[in-house]
Amino acid sequence: MKVLNLIARLLDYPSDELVAHLDELTNWVAESEDLDAPLRDMLLAFISHYECMDALDWQSEYDGLFERGRAVSLHIFEHVHGESRDRGQAMVDLTARYRSAGLELNERELPDYLPTYLEFCATQGEEAYGWVHDITHVIALLSARLSKRESPYHLLMDSLLLMAGVFVDLTALKEEVANEERDDTPEALDKIWEEEVVSFTGANNCDQSITRPSAAQLRDGQPLTWAPSAKDAAQNSAQPAPQE
């Protein structure tokens, strides 16, 4: 499960501490016998790219990529529920799932933040990749959009897809997102500020046109679900919390 924690750290904001230990991460990935060659190559390519970049430049790039607009947001429910009322309930349910696993969130963290979710997955033993599998529709969308922006961060999304064992037709998905308008340009951000209004009516503002992999693009043909079945949830809640 160390690789899930590694990807979680690499997806999080590039702190000075992370930058200072990139060489150690390179050695661990290169020498790990638990990683298949394709996965190892993708992780090494990502780390190598940012090893050559100044820390401030990396941090600035990260802010520009993930903190502007919503298309490549690292908050899972942004791509599932948009701004609908369902998002709030999903947050509550996911927080409860974390607590049932013996985990507590930092007060500043949102439960659907992808690095946080991956840290949770890493505590779930044999079920870890099942939890990753459940959000592969979001991961595939992020991969396609990050590839469109020529960002190395798509390598981390592709690594997660590989680990989850879901083979997505990314070529077809990239063709679908190719015509999407960028939402992180100054013009787009100004338009959002001008047009967005605060609503307390609970109206469903979720964008129904959001692109997701089709059944044909998800080659394993299995339907993707967000939460485990009621039976699995009951079993999980009956299990003791993992020991740290």
In a domain, 64, yes or no: yes
What b-and-e string marks burial along 194-219, b requiring 16 or more CB atoms within 10 Å of the CB?
eeeeeeeeeeeebeeeebebeeebbe
- For the chain, 244 residues long, give each residue's pLDDT as a single digit of tens: 799 999 999 999 999 999 999 999 999 999 998 899 999 999 999 999 999 999 999 999 999 999 887 899 999 998 988 777 788 899 999 999 999 988 888 777 899 999 999 999 999 998 999 999 999 999 999 999 999 999 999 999 999 999 998 888 888 889 988 888 776 655 555 555 455 544 444 444 444 334 445 544 454 434 333 444 444 444 544 455 545 4
In a domain, 31, yes or no: yes
In a domain, 81, yes or no: yes
In a domain, 243, yes or no: no
Q: Read off the pTM.
A: 0.76
What pLDDT score does 17 carry? 94
What b-and-e string marks burial along 64-100, b requiring 16 or more CB atoms within 10 Å of the CB?
ebbebbebbbbbbbbbbbbbbeebeebbeebbebbee
What pLDDT score does 87 carry? 84
Alpha helices by DSSP H, the chain = 2-11, 16-20, 22-31, 37-51, 55-66, 76-80, 85-100, 114-121, 128-133, 136-148, 154-164, 170-177, 186-195, 230-238
In a domain, 124, yes or no: yes
Q: How many domains does the structure of the chain reveal?
A: 1
What pLDDT score does 193 carry? 47
In a domain, 241, yes or no: no
What pLDDT score does 187 carry? 57
DSSP label of 218:
B
What pLDDT score does 194 carry? 56
Identify the domain containing residue 26 by its residue range.
2-198+207-234
In a domain, 101, yes or no: yes
In a domain, 244, yes or no: no
pLDDT in tens, 73-113: 999 998 988 777 788 899 999 999 999 988 888 777 899 99
Cα–Cα distance for residue pair 66/88, rounded to 1 Å: 21
